[in-house]
Amino acid sequence: MKDQPGPAPQSSPAAIISARDIVRTYGERRALDGLTVDVPAGGVFGLLGPNGSGKSTFMALVAGMDTPEQGELRVLGQGPARELRARLGTVFQENCADPTMRAGEYLRFAGQLFGLRGAELQGRADSLLERFGLAARGGDPVSTLSGGMRRRLEVARALLHRPELILLDEPTTGVDPDERRILWETLADNRAGATILLATNDLSEADSVCDRVAFIQNGRTIATGTPEELKRGLRRDSVQITWPGASAEDLRTVAEWPGSGAVLRDGDAVHVTTDDGAALIPRVFALAGAAIRGVRIESSTLEDAYFQYIRRRKEAQE
């Protein structure tokens, strides 16, 4: 069957970002292939997908750093343009701060680029350093900060000019769990109602922080909704099995067992949603024995929902 486009949500007057059938190519590769999505105002909206799915390309279009070849994109009520950047706060995958600058100096320099001056700029920079737990390091070179501190500094920089829309492109990559928690808690307390667009391939993070999400694959939206809506209908347990030699016949056998839901291979891992993980595991070992390298049972997650939608899309293409 011919590949079908992802779901096309109805445009909402409250959408702060509205994209319709966006196409962007790089040579022979289509980074975005008809992507359609609406981002409502005021919450945290996640773009979820593996590396290369088109998330960063879409973020660049929203930021006005690139333009779509086809389709319609509206950001804050208008087409993307350079002048919109004064209303956006951006955190890219890579840290932007000059490592030789001092942390406070970097914030003041960034604030000047957005027109902040004098006491307003100093007060705003000092306040954000304090709120992000960096006040004691404001006079230290950026190069001396830990990775988590640098990410917090980048988020503080994005908030300096009180943007209406904050773009976060994998903001917690390489950050340990404690730093990640501090970053998100502080961001939640200090974004002043701004909408956040988060691009990530960390589905557990998105499950905990996002109000709505869109699953992106091969430059298209394959599903949108709240995490709970997307998880609705999944089996109760999620079983992840490290099973390098699993065959297609093995997967069909597991899928036919009573209580089994979605069964999907991801490299050496096999993901199974089931009504009873404890009952499924002995059957898996009876089937595969020593070929099983590890198992883990958890409650069904947004990751399970993501793999389920990928499976449905693959089946629709066959």
* Model confidence pLDDT, tens digit, residues 10-24: 444 479 999 999 999
- The candidate with the shortest Cα–Cα distance to 245, out of 197, 288, 297, is 288
pLDDT at 318: 54
- Domains observed in the chain: 15-228 (3.40.50.300), 235-299 (3.30.70.980)
Residues 37 and 17: their CA atoms lie apart, in Å, by 8
The tokens of 103 are what? 């942390």
The reported pTM is 0.77
pLDDT at 229: 87
Residues 52 and 30: their CA atoms lie apart, in Å, by 10
* Spans of the chain, pLDDT less than 50: 1-13
The tokens of 70 are what? 């086809």
Tell me the per-residue pLDDT of 199-256, one tens digit each, with 9 for 90 and over.
Answer: 998 888 899 999 999 999 999 999 999 998 888 766 678 899 999 999 999 999 999 9
Residues 57 and 31: their CA atoms lie apart, in Å, by 7
Tell me the per-residue pLDDT of 174-191, one tens digit each, with 9 for 90 and over.
Answer: 788 888 888 999 998 888
Secondary element (H or E) of residue 169? strand 165-169
pLDDT at 106: 97
Contacts of 247 (CB under 8 A, 6+ apart): none
What's the gap between Cα 93 and its chain centre? 11
